[in-house]
Amino acid sequence: MDSLLLLKAAVMGLVEGLTEFLPISSTGHLILAGALLGFDDDKAKVFDIAIQTGAIVAVILVYWQKIRHTLVTLRYSLDAQRLVFNVLIGFLPAVVLGLLFGKFIKTHLFTPEVVATTFIVGGLIILWAERRPPSAVHIQEVEELRGRDALKVGLVQCLAMIPGTSRSGATIIGGMLLGLSRQAATDFSFFLAIPTLIGAGAYSLYKERALLSMADAPLFGVGLLVSFISAWVCVRWLLKFISTHSFEVFAWYRIAFGLVVLLTAHMGWVTWAA
């Protein structure tokens, strides 16, 4: 396989790993990076979704002790059962709404105006959420989540179907607005990402399997590996960052990136389409 193509796959994997779990939207960054690299055909779009699996493996590794303890104690631990139940409840809205509206969203919402607007509006929401007077936090740890809390966060996650919104940004900030502590909202966002992104990747690969062949294995392998490594570094950094910092820096970045989207679209550098 062409070494230049493998290099492009590595760059895309790096972009995916660094942006998937930060509240800045991996989708918008992958569209821009793919367009600038000339890596934006139909197969590349399947690649973008499939390499999310590498990022998810990184989350599983970072949270392995917690995940292992949950699975081992699932039969008799109410906390373990509650966590698994809440993840499933939170995952359900994305399945239902994704199947119902996924095609419509890809057809009509992947426009520079929508992407830029969601970047900028999302940044303003983060600024508002971080600067508003502190509200009561009734959930300090992820184990304290109730079913209705998980469902609400799952519904908020569905906002990320709009390109440029950010799945992690929606679930973390949404969770905080619903009364979760910053740590609990972040932890649940990561746990919720596991079935959501694996499901999206598997569905995309199955749906577009006619575009793929064994010759693509090195391409996908490089993307998955780089996505895994960069996401592992990013998740570990983010968990330390949130203990002493707010998300305001990401808000300003989102606003700036929204302006970049408008510039690249206006100049004709990027085709912001599904």
List the chain domain ranges.
3-267
Whether residue 170 contacts residue 156, with contact meaning beta carbons closer than 8 Å, is answered with yes
**CA–CA gap between residue 158 and residue 95 (Å, rounded):** 9
Looking at the predicted structure, is the pLDDT value of residue 1 above 80? no
- Please determine, for residue 13, whether its predicted confidence score (pLDDT) is greater than 60: yes
Q: pLDDT tens digits for 28-38?
A: 898 888 888 88
50-74 pLDDT, tens digit each: 888 899 999 999 999 999 999 999 9
User: pLDDT grade, residue 121 (50/70/90)?
Assistant: very high
70-112, pLDDT tens digit by residue?
999 999 999 999 999 999 999 999 999 988 988 888 788 878 8
> Is-contact 161 105, C-beta < 8 A?
yes
- CA max distance for the chain: 60
DSSP string, 125-174: HHHHHHHSPP----B-SGGG--HHHHHHHHHHHGGGGSTTS-HHHHHHHH
**For 184-216, b where at least 16 C-beta lie within 10 A, e where not — what string?**
bbbbbbbbbbbbbbeebbeebbeebeeebeeeb
Q: Percentage of the chain with pLDDT > 70?
A: 99
Angle between helix 217-241 and 3-19 (nearest 10): 30
φ/ψ of 23, rounded to 5, equals: -80, 50
pLDDT in tens, 147-196: 999 999 999 999 988 988 999 999 999 999 999 999 999 999 999 999 98
